[in-house]
Chains A and B, each alone.
Chain A
């Protein structure tokens, strides 16, 4: 079975632009979470979606938004990009938030803002 997939792998954007990152969860997983990992730090929680509804939001500005589709895939959108948004963006999937099961991560999207 395929694991969590993310696209694109790498992305270079200019300050002020907008970006959309995509994630497909493991088959059968209905929960998707997004994390931002700046170089040298642990990942920071951005959002969790379950059954197309937002279930959690981290301490990120409103420039960050996300949604989940009926097939449980998800998009993370970032508007008005800043240099500080340069990071590895990780998507994780799990069966559902209440199961307290393991989360499985995708390979990430490396975003560089110049």
Chain B
């Protein structure tokens, strides 16, 4: 059974700081890995998708990496802003490609 862990569970940083969110998983037989952002009480916004054959993806200030051999992914956020405050979830496409398995998320707060 795939288990996904995100560390830290919560993080508070001052504005402008670069930060790294971690996601680890137990089964490397994945199709892809997706990072999402969730604002309180809202749905999920897709940030980055990394296919299993890729090592990283970038979008603006965000960079996500994938290392299947070690069962790890990281989300790097450069020059953090208060608007980045949200919960960040990683999810792996597994089960024959028909379901996402999510971590419990990292709650990020960027302070002025």
Using a CB–CB cutoff of 8 Å, the interface residues on chain A facing chain B are 4, 6, 33, 35, 40-45, 48, 50, 55-56, 58, 88, 90, 92, 97-98, 100-108, 110
How many residues of B are in contact with the other chain, CB < 8 A? 27
Closest to B89 in A: A42
For A50, what are the chain B residues with a Cβ–Cβ distance below 8 Å?
Answer: 98
**Apart from A45-B95, A90-B43, A100-B97: 15 A-B pairs, beta carbons within 8 A:** A6-B43, A40-B104, A42-B102, A42-B104, A43-B89, A56-B96, A88-B41, A92-B44, A97-B98, A98-B97, A100-B32, A102-B46, A103-B34, A103-B100, A104-B46
Interface residues of B in 28-47 (CB under 8 A from A): 31-32, 34, 36, 41-46
Nearest-neighbour CB distance to chain B for A49, whole angstroms, equals: 10
CA A58 to CA B4, docked complex, whole Å: 16
Cβ proximity bits B94-108 to A, threshold 8 Å, 1 near / 0 not? 011111111111000
Contact partner of B4 among A42, A92, A98, A100, CB < 8 A? A42
Closest to A41 in B: B104
For B46, what are the chain A residues with a Cβ–Cβ distance below 8 Å?
Answer: 102-105
Q: Is the CB of A48 within 8 A of B105?
A: no
CA A105 to CA B38, docked complex, whole Å: 10
Nearest-neighbour CB distance to chain B for A72, whole angstroms, equals: 16
For A42, what are the chain B residues with a Cβ–Cβ distance below 8 Å?
Answer: 4, 89, 91, 102-105
* Cβ-based interface call for B64 (8 A): no
CA A104 to CA B91, docked complex, whole Å: 12
Nearest-neighbour CB distance to chain B for A8, whole angstroms, equals: 14
For B49, what are the chain A residues with a Cβ–Cβ distance below 8 Å?
Answer: 101-102
